[in-house]
């Protein structure tokens, strides 16, 4: 195959992809939040219910996936919940690994692709946190 034919095929593929992206409608999650949020459930398939070592492994995996400092993510999870997914603070109504406040959790979970998931679900809590941190930093946790 000549170089001209390869270039022409690449150009046609680019045109087709551009046409598809401009003509086909965006998924609802992109239109509402500005980013595709359905993929979050497919990230880091680690069964956190097997114990704290798996919770730590899930934190490390999600932190790497979203470009967050692994050491800081582990340190804050240790401080907030000792890696216990069912951690609950009755004084502030904070739940889960990263102690999300009850009044903020539903909106955060929905924004990052975990509609109607509990803050006690370690997968949802960790991935929502990592995506938040990537976007806004650790300020809600005092950093």
Burial track 81-101 (b if 16+ CB lie within 10 A, e otherwise): bebebebbeeeeebbbbbbbe
Looking at residue 35, the DSSP 8-state letter turns out to be S
Q: What is the mean pLDDT of residues 62-79?
A: 96
| pLDDT for 23 beyond 60 | no
pLDDT tens per residue, range 89-121: 999 999 999 999 999 999 999 999 999 999 999
Question: Mind giving me the DSSP string for 75-89?
Answer: HHHHHHHTT-TT-EE
The neighbour count for residue 104, using CB atoms within 10 Å, is 14
pLDDT tens per residue, range 122-133: 999 999 999 999
CA neighbor of 126 nearest in space, from 89, 87, 90 = 87
Topology classification of domain 37-141 = Lysozyme (1.10.530)
Q: Give the residue extent of every domain in the chain.
A: 1-30, 37-141
pLDDT of residue 41: 54
Judged by DSSP in three states, 38 sits in: helix
């Amino acid at each position: 195959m000549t170089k001209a034919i390869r270039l022409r095929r690449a150009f046609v593929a680019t045109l087709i992809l551009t046409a598809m992206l401009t003509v086909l409608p965006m998924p609802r999650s992109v239109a509402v939040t500005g980013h595709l949020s359905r993929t979050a459930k497919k990230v880091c398939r680690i069964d956190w219910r097997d114990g704290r070592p798996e919770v730590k492994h899930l934190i490390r995996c999600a932190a790497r996936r979203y470009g967050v400092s692994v050491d800081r993510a582990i340190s804050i999870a240790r401080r907030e919940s000792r890696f216990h997914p069912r951690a609950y603070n009755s004084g502030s109504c904070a739940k889960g690994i990263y102690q999300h406040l009850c009044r903020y959790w539903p909106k955060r979970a929905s924004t990052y692709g975990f509609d109607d998931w509990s803050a006690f679900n370690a997968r949802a809590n960790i991935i929502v946190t990592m995506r938040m941190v990537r976007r806004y930093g650790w300020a809600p946790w005092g950093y």
